[in-house]
């Protein structure tokens, strides 16, 4: 069930919200209503996998109780390890078994040995986000950052909470535990602010991301040998804007929906394409993943406390793991390793070098690095990525066939680029804030947003639905 599908927009969403408002006077009722709605929401798409999630939730609760109850370090570590390994086993089995088998099969055949059967395992929606969030609960309890959930129902709600369930933001348990304990009741401001944010997400997804996706698909589906310099850059730029508007659009919908129910989720994007270094980019892009990696991987590896060489290695390992988390394919692994290299270079000298340049120039350099990375991310293979990058580096490369790119794709891409440029220019205006500006001109901004929302719905009903990019993760 997608947030912008008619089933959600006109039936499930309004029904759940009205039940929540009119029957949720008592805190326990609010918990039950939201939990039941979240389970139904997920079971609609994953009716089988949900039982495995329930079983792992029960294990988490039991392990957390054992961790909290023990005063000795060894059993605490054993229970933590059991819980973390059990969760990672779910992720590895569903996400990486096929990838590992495929590569093992290729290796065996290269050695002239009999191959193996490659299993076909369906990837459950949102499994990576669910597993990472469940790990935060166990680690938070182990570290003493938070107490075990007061009731199984509250922890179940944390895992299944439908606004963020499918593609984040990744909510760390200690960031949301108090809100689930208190279960705030939504008021009118929550509805207005939340629904406005939700509308913005729908506009980003349907009007921008889906149109840009069609442009990216048009280029990436062609034989690379038939493309030229212009077509290669067009395809990668289409995807560069597509992934930003697609994923930030989902985050807007998730944050908006949660706010409508009275919950405040942390932001997941902060104008990433204005970044002046790769380090700055990762402070702004998918903030919840970056902070998760820092708290639950980088610090346990030793962070920057074990010397410069170990710090560089830890940084690279973290972003190599980030690439692997994104998908079971060599292209994602290459993308993660690539970002890890530039984060190390930032720490060595690159940030200082970029700081000597004007901000706009450092922004352009950073965006070239980001765009090259997105080429690996979007490509179907490393060979396709390499061929596209070779074309992008050769201004004299000509296509061997005419590829007609519809004008609306180009127009939307130009508008998307203009929005990102406007974000960069806004940094030069003293005390400027986009939210404050929208509130200052509330009538005009809300009217424009409402019209765009209606246009987005019309487009969504007319065109085939395109799933969010991050659903596959």
Any idea which residues carry the catalytic annotation? Answer: 326
Among residues 227, 195, 211, the alpha carbon closest in space to that of 387 is found at: 227
**What's the Rg (C-alpha) of the chain?**
23
Q: How far apart are CA 12 and CA 395, in angstroms?
A: 51
For the stretch 204-220, what's the b/e string if a residue is b when 16 or more beta carbons lie within 10 angstroms of its beta carbon? bbbbbbbbbbbbbbbbb
Q: How far apart are CA 21 and CA 35, in angstroms?
A: 15
């Amino acid at each position: 069930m997608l947030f912008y599908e008619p089933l959600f927009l006109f039936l499930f969403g309004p029904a759940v919200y009205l039940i929540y408002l009119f029957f949720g006077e008592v805190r326990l009722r609010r918990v039950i209503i939201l939990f039941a709605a979240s389970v139904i929401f997920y079971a609609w798409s994953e009716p089988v996998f949900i039982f495995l999630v329930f079983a792992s939730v029960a294990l988490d609760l039991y392990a957390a109780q054992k961790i909290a109850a023990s005063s000795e370090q060894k059993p605490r570590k054993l229970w933590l390890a059991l819980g973390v390994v059990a969760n990672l086993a779910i992720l590895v089995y569903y996400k990486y078994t096929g990838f590992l088998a495929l590569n093992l099969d290729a290796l065996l055949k290269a050695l002239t040995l009999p191959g193996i059967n490659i299993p076909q395992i369906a990837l459950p929606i949102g499994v990576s986000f669910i597993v990472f969030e469940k790990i935060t609960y166990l680690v938070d309890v182990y570290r003493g950052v938070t107490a075990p959930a007061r009731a199984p129902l509250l922890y179940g709600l944390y895992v299944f909470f439908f606004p963020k369930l499918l593609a984040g933001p990744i909510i760390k348990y200690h960031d949301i535990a108090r809100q689930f304990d208190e279960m705030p009741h939504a008021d009118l401001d929550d509805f207005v602010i939340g629904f406005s944010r939700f509308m913005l997400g729908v506009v980003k997804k349907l009007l921008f991301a889906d149109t840009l996706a069609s442009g990216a698909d048009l280029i990436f589906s062609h034989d690379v040998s038939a493309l030229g310099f212009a077509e290669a850059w067009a395809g990668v730029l289409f995807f560069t804007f597509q992934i930003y508007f697609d994923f930030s659009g989902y985050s807007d919908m998730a944050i908006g929906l949660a706010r409508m129910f009275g919950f405040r989720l942390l932001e997941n994007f902060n104008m990433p394409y204005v970044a002046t270094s790769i380090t700055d980019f990762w402070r702004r892009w998918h903030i919840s993943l970056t902070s998760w990696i820092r708290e639950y991987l980088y610090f346990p590896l030793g962070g920057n406390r074990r010397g410069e060489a170990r710090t560089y290695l830890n940084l690279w390992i973290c972003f190599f793991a980030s690439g692997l988390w994104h998908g079971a394919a060599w292209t994602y692994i290459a993308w993660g390793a690539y970002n890890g290299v530039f984060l190390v270079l930032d720490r060595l000298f690159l940030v200082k070098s970029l700081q000597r340049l004007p901000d706009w120039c450092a922004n352009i350099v950073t965006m070239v690095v980001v765009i090259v990375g997105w080429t690996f991310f979007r490509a179907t293979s490393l060979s396709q990525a390499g061929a596209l990058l070779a074309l992008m580096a050769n201004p004299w490369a000509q296509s061997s066939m005419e590829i007609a790119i519809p004008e609306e794709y180009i127009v939307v891409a130009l508008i998307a680029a203009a929005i990102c440029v406007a974000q960069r220019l806004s940094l030069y205006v003293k005390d400027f804030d986009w939210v404050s500006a929208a509130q200052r001109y509330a009538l005009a901004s809300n009217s424009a947003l409402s019209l765009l929302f209606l246009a987005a719905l019309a487009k969504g009903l007319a065109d085939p639905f395109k799933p969010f990019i991050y659903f596959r993760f």
